[in-house]
Structure 1
Amino acid sequence: MSIRQLIIRVRTSFWYLPTVYGVLAFIIAIISMLFDRFLARQSFYSSIPNVFLSDMDLAQTILSSLSTSLLTMTTITFSSILVVLTTYLSQFSPRALQNFITDHHTQRVLGIFIGGFIYTIILLLLVRENDTSTLFIVPTFAIFVSIICLGMFVFFIHHVTTWIKVSNLIFHITMKTMNSIHNHYVGENEFQAESPWKNWEYEELTTVKPYLLISKKSGYIY
C-alpha cells in the first residue's frame, strides 16, 4: 500500500475527524488556561464582570458537570441513532448504516462532542490553587463550548431526521449511481454492441419514437 493510499484510507475512516477535533480541543484547553493565568497576572480581572469569573470550587463544579453532561449526551445520542438506523437498514439496505457512518456531518458532530468533553476535562485537570489569583475565567469558556455542542446536537437531530427519509435515501443512491456512471462509462465512440442487440429486437427498438419526460429537480412520483 502506497503512502497516498494510506493517507486516503486514514482520512476516510470514521475516527479521523473525531481525533483531529480531540487534539485541537486539547491544545485549545491549554491555551485557554494560559490565557486565564495571563489575565490574572496582568490584573485584567478587575475590568471583567464578576458574573464571568469563578472561584476554584465553583469552577471545578461547573467543569465537572459540563464534562459529564457532554459525555452523556454523546453516548445517548449515538446509541439512540444507531438503534433507529439498525431498524432502518434492515428494511432497506445494509449500506445505509455505512453511508451514515462515513457522512462528514456525522463525523464532525461526533468530533465536536468529543472535543467539548476533552476541553472541559482538561480544564478540570488544570484548575488548581495558585499564587496569582483565586478566580478563573475558563469555566465561562467551557460554558460557551457546551452551548456550541448543544447547538450541534440540535443540528444533528435535524440532520438525522432528514437523512433517514426514503426520498433522501433514493436521492443519495441516485446521485452516487450517476457519478459512478459518469466516471466509469465507456465513451460512445468506444462502445460496441453485444451480440443479443444485433438481432431484430434492436432494430425494432430503434424504430419506436421515445417520449422524453424531463424533470426540473430530483425526486420521485407519488
Structure 2
Amino acid sequence: MSKIKFLWQELTGSFWFIPILIIIFSIGLATLLIFIDRSVDVRSIEFFSYILTESADSARSVLSTISGAMIGVAGTVFSITLVALTLASSQFGPRLLKNFMHERLNQVVLGTYVSTYAYCLIVLNVVKDNEAQVFIPSLSILLAILAAIGNIILLIIFIHSISISIQADHVVSDISVSLMKNIERIFSEELEDEDPSIEKNTKPLDYYLKDFSHSKTLKSPKSGYLQYLHNISLFEAAKTNEYLIVSHHRVGGYIVKGEPIISIHSKTEFTEDSSINFENNYVLGSSRTTQQDAEHSIHQMVEIACRALSPGINDPFTAISCIDNLTSTLCYLTRVKFPSKYKFDDDKLRYAFKPLTFQGMLDAAFLQIRQFSKGSPAVVIRLMEALIKIHDYTSHKIHKEAVKEHAEMVLKVAEDSFEECHDLEDMRDRSRSILEES
C-alpha cells in the first residue's frame, strides 16, 4: 500500500498528469452541457435571451475564434515555460527543472488552454443548421465564452508567476519550504533529553549474523537510484518469519545492476511458504526524489550555492541566502531523533539498515559550499556564523563535535584564502566560541 502511495505521489507530481485530467473533465463537461441543451430550451428563458447565441453562423464563428485563440495561447504558454526552464537550468542547474515542472500553476494553465480548445471543438461539431435539423447549443457556447474570459485572467497570473519563479530568492525560498516539510515528515520525533552520542547497541553486524546459518540476497534487476524503501514492512516481515534482514543501501543511493539490495538471513532453510515478495518494498528510478530522500533537497540548495560561487556567475548573495536557509533546517535537526541503524524485537535484531545521521546531513549541507567558497570572504564568514548558530542550538556532544569539525575546516579556508588580516582575525574571534569549548 505504501509503495502505491509513493507511486501515486510521483504520478501526481508529473508535468502531464494534471493537464490530462483537466482535458478529460472538459470533454465530460462538454458532453453534459450538450445533453442539457438538447433537453432544455434555455433560450426561452428571458434572462438568457439577451446573452445567448441564436444563429448557427454566429455560434460557429464564436467557437472557431475561441478554439483558435486558445490553441495559439497554449503554444505561447508552452514557449514561455520552456524559456523559464532554460533560464532556470542555466542559472540554478538542470536538476532543479523538476521543481519548475511540478509547479501546479504551470500544469493548470497548460491544461486549461488545451482543454478549452478541445471543449470548443466538441461543441462546434454538434452545431447543426440544415433542412433536417437545427441545433444551437447555446448554454455550451456561453460557457466557452466565460472560459475564454477566465483564461485571459489566468494568462496574466501565469506571466506574473513565471517572472517571480526564476528569481533566485524565490527559488531558494521554495526549496527551503519543501525541504522543511520533507524533514518534518521524516523526522517527526523530538530528541528531548536523550543523548544521541550514547549508542545502545554498538556491537557490529557480524556479531548478530553468526547465529544465522542460511542466507539469500536480493540483487538489483537494473541500475538506478533507490527512490523508495519500506523499512516498516521489511521489519514486520523479519519479525513474522524470524529473519534478520539487512538493507545495504540508503534511499538516494545509486545501485548498479546485480548489486545486492537486501540480504535475508534465517536460522532454518528457506521454503516456498516463507518466501516474501520483497520487490514490493523498494523502487528504483533514473533520478532521486524527495519523498524519502531528505538529503536530495539539501543537495538542490547546495547546487544553487555552488553555481552562484562559480567564476562565471559570481553571486555571493545567492550563496549566502542558501546558507541561511540551510542553517534553519540544521537547527531543526539538532532537536530531532535520528533513527538507529538496528531495529529489535524483544532484544532480537530483526532489521539493519543505513539511517540518516546529523553528521551526514551537516556534511551534505556545508562541505561543497565550503570547497567553493574559497576566495569569497563574505561567504566564508557567513558559513562560520551559521555553524555558530547551529552550535548554540544543539546541546548534545556528538552534534557539537560534528559542528566543531566543520568550523575547523572553515577556519582553515579563511587562513588559506583571506588577504586582509582584519578579516582573518575576525574569523578567529568568531570561531573561538566553538573551537575553544571543552
C-alpha RMSD of the superposition: 3.2
Once the two structures are TM-superposed, the CA of residue 183 in structure 1 deviates from its matched residue by 4.1
TM-superposition CA deviations, 1:18-44 (whole Å, max 9, x none): 11111110011111112222233x872
Report what 1:158 is aligned to.
160
User: Superposition pairs for residues 22-171 of structure 1, below 5 Å?
Assistant: 22-40=23-41, 44=44, 48-129=48-129, 133-137=134-138, 138-171=140-173
Distance 1:146 1:203 in 2: 64
Give the superposition deviation at 1:10: 2.1
> Structure 1, residues 69-88: CA drift from partner, whole Å, max 9, x if none?
10110111221231233023
Counterpart AA for 2:14? S
2:30–2:122: 8 Å Cα contact kept in structure 1?
yes
Is the Cα contact below 8 Å between 2:84 and 2:162 reproduced in 1?
Answer: no
Q: Which has the higher strand share?
A: 2
TM score, norm. by length of structure 2: 0.42
Q: C-alpha distance in 1, partners of 2:76/2:88? A: 18
Separation in structure 2 between the aligned mates of residue 83 and residue 43 of structure 1, nearest angstrom: 46
Q: Distance in 2 between matches of 1:5 and 1:88?
A: 27
Residue identity matched to 2:175: I
Unaligned runs of 5+ in 1: 209-222
Distance of 1:129 and 1:90 partners within structure 2: 55
1:132-186 residue CA offsets vs partner (Å, 9 max, x unmatched): 7454413222111111111111111111112222211121122233334434458
Give the distance between the partners of 1:88 and 1:4, measured in 2 at CA: 30
Q: Provide the TM-score with structure 1 as the length reference.
A: 0.77
| Aligned-partner residue type, residue 140 of structure 1 | L
Q: CA deviation at 1:49?
A: 2.4
Amino acid at match of 2:162: V
Q: Which runs of 5+ in 2 are unaligned?
A: 198-397, 409-430
Count of residues in Structure 1 that have an aligned counterpart in Structure 2: 206
User: Quick one: distance in 2 between partners of 1:196 and 1:65?
Assistant: 69
Q: Partner amino acid for 2:22?
A: Y
Which structure has greater helix proportion? 1
More deviation, 88-97/150-159? 88-97
Residue 182 to residue 8, structure 1, CA distance change in 2 (3 Å):
closer
Percent of aligned pairs sharing the same letter: 24
Higher relative contact order (CA 8 A, sep 6+): 1
